[in-house]
Every structure is written in C-alpha cells, then in structure tokens.
Amino acid sequence: GAGPARTALAYVVKQCFGTACSQDELFERCGLKDMLEHVCAGYSATALAYGPTGSGKTYTIAGKPDSIIKHGTGDASDGVVIRTVEALFEKIRALQRDGLQFKVSGPSLAMR
C-alpha cells in the first residue's frame, strides 16, 4: 500500500543570524525597532523566536539567566526583551517632548 501523503513545505526567511552574531547586532538588525514605530502609533506587535532545541532562542529573548537581577541592564548579554523595553521608553520620552502622552501597561493577571 501507499504510505502517508507527504507535503512539501517552503519557508522564506529574511535573515539568519549565526553563532557569531552579538545580542546588540541581532537587536539592531532584527526589525524590532521598526515594530516600535507601529506600537507607538497604537498597534500591537509580537516577536517570535523559532528554531530547534538548543539553538539559542531563550538566550536571544531573555539574555543570561538572572543577569538583569544581578547586574542591571546594559550588559552585552541583555536579550531582545530588555533591549526592546528600553528602546520603547526612549522613544516615548522623545515623543513626550512633542506633547504626546502615553500609557504603558502590562497584562492583567486575575487571581482565581
């Protein structure tokens, strides 16, 4: 009998970052700063890290475990989350000088 049907999949990637890419370089090249323009205009945005186990997704997103707690921000290992939050508040400060006001909030957590 015939085996299960197979479907060919094709993916188009804009960029691929290798192991020599620093956290800073990745943040500068990955497009998150461009997404912040849309966020400041009132739109939602999502960033996604995709890859096989052990490829560095958690490090890319979060940086070294507990580094922010121990050393604060500004470390070369800071992940894209802290870099994006810092860039967002930098952008907000610049826009507030033009008289705009912003409200920043996080997800609501309901106790059950």
d(CA 112, CA 109): 9
How high is the pLDDT of residue 84? 93
How do residues 76-94 score in pLDDT, each as one tens digit?
999 999 999 999 999 988 8
pLDDT digits 0-9 by tens, 34-92: 999 998 888 888 888 888 899 889 999 999 888 878 888 888 999 999 999 999 999 98
Mean pLDDT computed over 15-21 = 86
What's this model's pTM, rounded to 2 decimal places? 0.75
Label each residue of the chain as H, E or C: CCCCCCCCCCCCCCCCCCCCCCHHHHHHHCCHHHHHHHHHCCCCCCCCCCCCCCCCHHHHHHCCCCHHHHHCCCCCCCCHHHHHHHHHHHHHHHHHCCCCCCCCCCCCCCCC
Region 100-111 average pLDDT: 72
Residue 22 has pLDDT above 80, yes or no: yes
Asked if residue 109 has pLDDT above 80, the reply is no
Tell me what pLDDT residue 26 has: 93
Task: Measure the CA–CA gap between 30 and 61, rounded to whole angstroms.
Answer: 12
For residue 60, the model assigns a pLDDT of 92
